[in-house]
């Protein structure tokens, strides 16, 4: 029983960007460093060297697995965005508070990825639906004691309630991010934290303020 407008969420998220850029960019740069190391290792092991082109299927598999492995850090970024959206203090270190729950988060991310890929393989539309509907699974798993399947189903049901609204929200956000990247990447300094805050504001609108013991990582 929630409602939102795309303009309201985007506007509120933008107002929260000041004070959020430092913790966000500090954590994101470390995540990209880990991703770079994974890319180098995969190039050396799968391609025989950095200069060899890897088969496209291997690139997709490695990228998918990298996203799964990084899921505890992605949850951390979402956590500080939710905290900012709820008016709670945020810091750089909070983005790494969910590493202690890495096994269950990685396992859930792998399950969500496999089901989404299966949806794309069967028909394109189920894949598109699931990729959006499971979008709040990991923060729900991190903030609430719902279990793996409970988090997935809660996310799916909640987002399905306004699926086309979320589709429009993320589509418009993606277009704005693409335009930011075309302008010498400089606007991304503000728009990347803003995009994460859009998720944080949406989460708060849907599920309220997370329990303090889970949010204060």
Chain center to CA of 24: 13
Q: Give 84-130 pLDDT, tens digit per residue.
A: 998 888 888 888 888 888 888 888 888 998 888 888 887 778 888 99
Write down the pTM of the prediction: 0.82
Q: Is the pLDDT of residue 215 over 50?
A: no
**How far apart are the C-alpha atoms of 41 and 36, rounded to whole Å?**
9
Helices 102-122 & 147-161 angle (0-180, nearest 10) = 50
Binned at pLDDT 50, 70 and 90, residue 14 comes out as very high
Please report which confidence band the pLDDT of residue 157 belongs to, taking 50, 70 and 90 as the band edges: very high
Assign 50 a pLDDT band (cuts: 50, 70, 90).
Answer: very low
Looking at every residue in the chain, the average pLDDT score rounds to: 83
* 10 contacts 198 by C-beta, under 8 angstroms: yes
- Does residue 196 or residue 30 have the better pLDDT? 196
Q: How wide is the angle at C-alpha 135 spanned by C-alphas 201 and 124, nearest 5°?
A: 135
pLDDT at 52: 52
Q: What are 77's two structure tokens?
A: 């970024």
> Is the confidence at residue 214, as pLDDT, over 70?
no
Of the pLDDT bands very low, low, confident and very high (cuts 50, 70, 90), residue 42 is: low
**Separation of alpha carbons 191 and 32, rounded Å:** 17
pLDDT at 135 over 50: yes
* pLDDT (0 to 100) of residue 149: 92
Tell me the per-residue pLDDT of 170-213, one tens digit each, with 9 for 90 and over: 999 999 999 988 877 888 899 999 999 999 999 999 998 877 55
Among 199, 56, 197, residue whose Cα is nearest residue 139:
199
Residue 49 in this model has a pLDDT that exceeds 90: no
- Check: CB of residue 203 under 8 Å from CB of residue 82: yes
Per-residue confidence (pLDDT) for residue 168, from 0 to 100: 95
């Amino acid at each position: 029983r929630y409602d939102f407008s795309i303009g309201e969420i985007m506007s509120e998220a933008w107002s929260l960007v000041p004070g959020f850029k430092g913790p966000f960019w500090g954590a994101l740069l470390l995540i990209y460093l880990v991703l770079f190391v994974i890319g180098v290792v995969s190039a050396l092991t799968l391609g025989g060297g950095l200069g060899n082109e890897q088969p496209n299927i291997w690139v997709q598999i490695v990228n998918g697995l990298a996203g799964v492995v990084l899921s505890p850090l992605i949850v951390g970024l979402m956590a500080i965005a939710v905290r900012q959206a709820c008016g709670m203090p945020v810091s750089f270190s909070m983005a790494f508070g969910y590493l202690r729950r890495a096994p269950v988060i990685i396992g859930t991310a792998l399950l969500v990825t496999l089901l989404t890929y299966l949806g794309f393989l069967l028909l394109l539309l189920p894949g598109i639906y699931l990729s959006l509907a499971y979008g709040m699974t990991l923060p729900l798993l991190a903030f609430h004691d719902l279990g793996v399947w409970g988090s997935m189903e809660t996310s799916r049901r909640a987002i399905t309630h306004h699926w086309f609204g979320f589709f429009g929200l993320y589509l418009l956000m993606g277009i704005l991010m693409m335009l930011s990247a075309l302008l010498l990447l400089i606007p991304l300094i503000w728009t990347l934290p803003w995009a994460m805050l859009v998720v944080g504001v949406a989460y708060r609108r849907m599920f309220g303020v997370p329990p303090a013991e889970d949010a204060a990582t």
